[in-house]
């Protein structure tokens, strides 16, 4: 996907930075592309995280069934009514840290994982190269399992978008591509957006 060149100069750092409007336009284009797996590649400070956070805004509005499922998952995680969490009408955005455990990411017998909390929304895996192979493999298996059964009522833990990000160093890119292939089944299933 072609990315517009940087906008205004950042005088303090001497680097190029995207304007707020450029970030919004880019997020909208990526969301409209319709890919389920997206890989954002670019230097630190190029706007990858800002774009990822705005993707939820440009997805279609959730259906009533999705809203019920999102709130049911948050209820099971005991988040509703806790620290200002209320029932929501919006798609969730979750960004677990790369040190998250397998259970923290995909859940367990009585534990709601990040993939569940991102149901019908966006699961953002920032610095995908830093996630452990074990954790990423578990995530890929979980996605494959839910894609295979694809029955109503069994769709919890199915994010609308799974977005990974990586800096553009050679070592990070290799690890990121390997991890994304484990999640998506193949890099051919991914929309790769180069920010450089």
pLDDT category at 5 given cuts 50, 70, 90 is very low
Q: How far apart are the first and last CA of the chain?
A: 12
* 40 within domain boundaries: yes
Residue 158 pLDDT: 80
* 4 within domain boundaries: no
Residue 29 pLDDT: 92
Phi first, then psi, for residue 41 (nearest 5°) are -125, 130
Residue 18 pLDDT: 73
Structural domain that includes position 112: 9-194
**CATH code of residue 59:** 3.40.50.300
**What long-range pairs does 187-190 form, CB within 8 A, spacing at least 24?**
187/39, 189/36, 189/37, 190/35, 190/37, 190/38, 190/39
**Cβ atoms within 10 A of the Cβ of 17, count?**
18
* 123 within domain boundaries: yes
The per-residue pLDDT for range 109-131, each reduced to its tens digit, is 788 899 999 999 999 999 999 99
Q: How many domains does the chain have?
A: 1
**Cβ atoms within 10 A of the Cβ of 65, count?**
12
* 2 within domain boundaries: no
Residue 195 pLDDT: 86
* 140 within domain boundaries: yes
* 1 within domain boundaries: no
Query: Would you say 105 and 113 are in contact if contact means Cβ atoms under 8 Å apart?
Result: yes
Distance between CA atoms of residues 196 and 187, nearest Å: 19
Q: In terms of DSSP bridges, do strands 161-166 and 93-94 run parallel, antiparallel, or are they unpaired?
A: unpaired
The per-residue pLDDT for range 47-99, each reduced to its tens digit, is 999 999 999 999 999 999 999 999 988 888 888 776 667 788 899 999 999 99
* 142 within domain boundaries: yes
Phi first, then psi, for residue 78 (nearest 5°) are 60, 35
* 67 within domain boundaries: yes
The per-residue pLDDT for range 130-185, each reduced to its tens digit, is 999 999 999 988 888 766 555 444 456 688 899 999 998 888 989 998 999 888 88
Residue 40 pLDDT: 94
- Tokens for 3? 């990315």
pTM of the model as a whole = 0.85
């Amino acid at each position: 996907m072609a990315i517009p060149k940087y906008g205004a100069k950042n005088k303090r750092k001497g680097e190029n930075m995207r304007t707020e409007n450029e970030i919004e336009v880019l997020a909208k284009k990526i969301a409209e592309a319709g890919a389920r797996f997206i890989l954002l590649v670019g230097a630190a400070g190029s706007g990858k995280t800002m774009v990822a956070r705005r993707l939820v805004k440009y997805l279609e509005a959730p259906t009533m069934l999705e809203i019920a499922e999102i709130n049911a998952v948050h209820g099971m995680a005991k988040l509703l009514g806790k620290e200002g969490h209320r029932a929501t009408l919006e798609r969730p955005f979750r960004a677990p840290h790369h040190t998250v455990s397998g259970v923290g990411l995909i859940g367990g017998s009585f534990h709601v994982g990040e993939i569940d909390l991102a149901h019908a929304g966006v699961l953002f895996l920032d610095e995908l190269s830093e996630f452990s192979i074990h954790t990423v493999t578990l995530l890929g298996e979980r996605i494959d399992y839910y894609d295979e059964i694809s029955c109503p009522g069994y769709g919890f833990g199915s994010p609308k978008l799974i977005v990974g990000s990586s800096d553009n160093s050679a070592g990070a890119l290799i690890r990121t591509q390997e991890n994304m292939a484990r999640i998506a089944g193949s890099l051919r299933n991914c929309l790769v957006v180069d920010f450089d």
